Amino acid sequence: MTRVILKPGRERSVARRHPWILSGAVAEGDAACGETVEVVSSAGAPLGYGSFSPQSQIRVRLLSFDPAVVPDAAFIADKVAAAIARRADFFVRGETNAFRLVNAESDGLSGVVVDSYAGHLVCQFTSAGAEQWKEAVVAALQKFAPDCRGVSERCDNKSRAREGLPTDVPFRHLAGAEPPELIEIFEGEVAFLVDVRKGHKTGFYLDQREARRLVGALANGADVLNCFSYTGGFGLFARAAGAASVTQVDVSADALALARKNEALAHLCGTKMDYVEADVFQYLRACRDAGRTFDLIVLDPPKFAEFKSQVMRAARGYKDINLLAMKLLRPNGILATFSCSGAMTGELFDKILAEAAADARRDFQMIARTRQGADHPVALGFPEGLYLKGVILRAL
Ligand code: SAH
């Protein structure tokens, strides 16, 4: 087996159980795409085994931190089974039938993401190693996921491209039953249709489940502006809680079309629903110019920063929309604002919000913080895993 020798001192992150070996940490060692390699310190001490990614900045993704355990199909199956077992609560409680079964690094399977939509499992294999272990993962999912109806995969993500993996076919059915065109799922009392072939990520933003519940519950009687609505998530929770009106704004016509279908899944109610296909940056300005105000505004934008180098530009974008939204809030109004940029730290996000509030000349209280749900856990040794940050503010 190929050995990858680290530069002096670079074994420290491995000792803290960080699964990434960056290209700059490697002194010696070259292997094929996805090949399993042995990682040793500069002094030759064995550290563990991982998968080699010749094209990526993340050169090795460690799977085994035990020099005595070489990853094989059974090792991968154990990791999959353990990740599923840790979600037993989700299966038992039945509050939702859509949740993440495997959360990559934080479940010990770097590059492997698996989401279940009513038993239709949708995977993303985002690294060379993950691609290599695909068959073992799929077999284990069929064996261990209690309600597995079928397994498919989404290939159209940027990390695959960075690893030199094909992204031309966006969706592949891999095993079991093919998923229907739209899968109906529920989160508590709210139902959604999910398009696992063409929707974002694997089809739905499962990571915002808890925030949707929390923010929705604040919406009784409110006029709600749901910016970056995608298929309506926060807005439909607000509607279920008795909002007076909900305006769903997204730049994607397809997302809004599905949002309307999602509205039709629920009982008729008194909430006035509006759908606006627009750029949020422009729409917020139009609201300002028209003197419109709201009781609750949700800002859940896409990733503005993927890498540290993009953080400053991203900060300007976050400040812009938050400042605009802060000015549109009625007294005691609520701003639920999120950042899903892993490169943006929680501290920096707080600072941007404080600056926006100062520029808006308004005082705010923080009433809650949110993060990705428990099915998207964060391994303590892998702080990068905490990408989704939410702050709920009340305007004074
Ligand atoms: N809150 C949603 C998820 C939002 S994802 C939920 O709970 O499901 C981000 C959304 O922002 C995507 O639907 C994308 O189409 C939309 N988007 C991206 N840039 C935009 C822009 N400039 N203006 C409006 N919508 C935008």
In angstroms, what is the C-alpha Rg of the chain?
A: 22
Provide the 10 A C-beta neighbour count for residue 265.
13
For the CA of 230, the closest atom of ligand 1 is 13
Query: Residue 305: its pLDDT value, please?
Result: 84
Residues in the chain where the model's pLDDT stays below 70: none
Please state, in angstroms and rounded to a whole number, the distance separating the CA atoms of residues 265 and 189. Answer: 11
pLDDT at position 268 is 83
**In the chain, where does the domain assigned CATH 3.30.750.80 lie?**
73-183
In the reported structure, the alpha carbon of residue 313 is separated from the centroid of ligand 1 by a whole-number distance in angstroms of 18
Reading the block at residue 204, the tokens are 């739905």
Do residues 3 and 38 make contact, with C-beta atoms less than 8 angstroms apart?
A: yes
Sign of the CA dihedral with 347 first, then 250, 111, and 8 last: negative
Spatial CB neighbours of 26, under 8 Å, sequence gap ≥ 6 = 4, 5, 6, 7, 59, 60
Q: Where in the chain is the domain with CATH 2.30.130.10?
A: 3-64
Instruction: Using CB atoms within 10 Å of the CB of residue 9, give its burial: 0 to 12 exposed, 13 to 18 middle, 19+ buried.
Output: exposed
For ligand 1, atom 16, name the residue with the nearest CA: 228
The CA distance from 225 to 243, in Å, is 11
Is ligand 1 within 6 A of the CB of residue 230? Answer: yes
CB 144 within 8 A of CB 115: no
**Catalytic residue selected from 123, 155, 227, 340:** 340
Give the residue whose CA is nearest to atom 9 of ligand 1: 302
Catalytic residue list contains 269: no
The CB of 205 under 6 Å from ligand 1? The reply is yes
Percent helix, strand and coil across the chain, each to the nearest 5:
35, 30, 35
Q: Treating both helix axes as pointing N-terminal to C-terminal, what angle do 73-86 and 134-144 enclose, rounded to 10 degrees?
A: 40
Query: In this structure, which topology does domain 205-395 adopt according to CATH?
Result: Rossmann fold (3.40.50)
**Which fold does the domain 73-183 belong to in CATH?**
Transcription Regulator spoIIAA (3.30.750)
341 Cβ closer than 6 Å to some ligand 1 atom: no
Task: Determine the atom of ligand 1 nearest the C-alpha atom of 231.
Answer: 8
In the prediction, which pLDDT does 308 show? Answer: 84
Determine which residue's CA is closest to atom 22 belonging to ligand 1: 279
Locus of tokens 């690893």:
163
3-64: CATH topology is 2.30.130
Q: Where in the chain is the domain with CATH 3.40.50.150?
A: 205-395
For the stretch 224-233, pLDDT in tens is 999 999 999 9
